[in-house]
Amino acid sequence: MTGKKIGPIDGGLPPRRSMTSLKQWLSLRGYGLVTSMLFGATTSPQKMRARFERFGSVSRDTLQGKFPNVEFDDQRVGALGIEVVRAVESPKRVVFHLHGGAFFMGSPASYRTRTIRLSYRLDAEVYVPDYRLAPEHPYPAALDDAYAAFRHVRALRPHAPIFITGDSAGGGLGLSLLIRLRERGLAMPDGAILLSPWTDMTTSGDSVEANHGRDLWFSRNHLEVWADYYVGQADAHSAYLSPVFADLSELSPLLLFAGEDELLLDDARRVHESASREGTESRMLVGEGMQHDWPLALPWLDESKRAWGEMRQFVEAYPR
């Protein structure tokens, strides 16, 4: 049996295949079972954050014992910490990565294995800001931190090609950051890679209902409850909170990924369609039969390896 391939969106989803590999089936359902057990929609955000760190965090010493060539460094912008990861000796570019975690979970420590992979696969020096988390720090704290950190990194590496990457909430935050950079007249990055970006705090995408039951990880209740933590007293329809509703013209080239079966499929698809209409270069790839954030969460799958290949081709194509 063969696994499903990534399919580009050019007006519709690719046809669904009837066969999946056993590895894919076990990986998707196993990860879905773990996430559903640990991260219930109404579990307190502090408890879920602690679980995320307990299961995801890996010490620098442990990783350097496994990968002796990996180097870590630290930068600061006031109280904001930024972890730097280098898994290649002479990186050709800079990646500014905004981690996922629904705006209330996640940290550089819990993303280290993923950022090592970003560095190695994209031949990059990776910067990961430890942006403030909701509900203690609702919007605009995360965006303010991302903006300050990006300007700091740009000043540190003024001549290097630089890319914004982000997954899930970090993907939506990356798009909001692009919009702020454009609106303030600052130099844009060479491109942005957004993996399963959460771009709509109003949960209005058709896939929220269409993929109900097919998404093994999330429900509408998850999205609505978790969005409230970040939105706070702000308007969920605002462009910075829900960049799916923003003017997406004059942005950096975009490469978007989404799983065919995830609730946030339309969060990415609508961004792709709107950006393309407004003249921003955009390409979107759907993982057939895939779930949320599959290239980072399940990197051993063939579908994920192909996604990493697409990412590498994207960063190597810019700047032109």
Active-site residue among 168, 196, 207, 282? 168
Residue 250 CB: number of other CB atoms within 10 A?
Answer: 13
Residue 159 among the catalytic residues: no
- DSSP, collapsed to helix, strand or coil, labels residue 225 as helix
Cα–Cα distance, 59 to 166 (Å, whole number): 22
Q: Is 18 tagged catalytic?
A: no
Neighbouring CB atoms inside 10 A of 316's CB total 12
Q: 184-223 in b/e burial notation, b at 16+ Cβ within 10 A?
A: eeeeebbbbbbbbbbbbbbbebebbeebeeebbbbbeebb
Tokens representing 84?
Answer: 């730097």
Residue 292 falls in the annotated catalytic set? yes
Active-site residue among 137, 274, 292, 303?
292
Name the catalytic one among 125, 260, 262, 288.
262
Under DSSP, the state recorded for 243 is G
CB atoms within 10 A of CB 320: 5
The residues that bridge with 6 in the sheet, in sequence order, are: 287
> Which residues are part of the catalytic machinery?
168, 262, 292
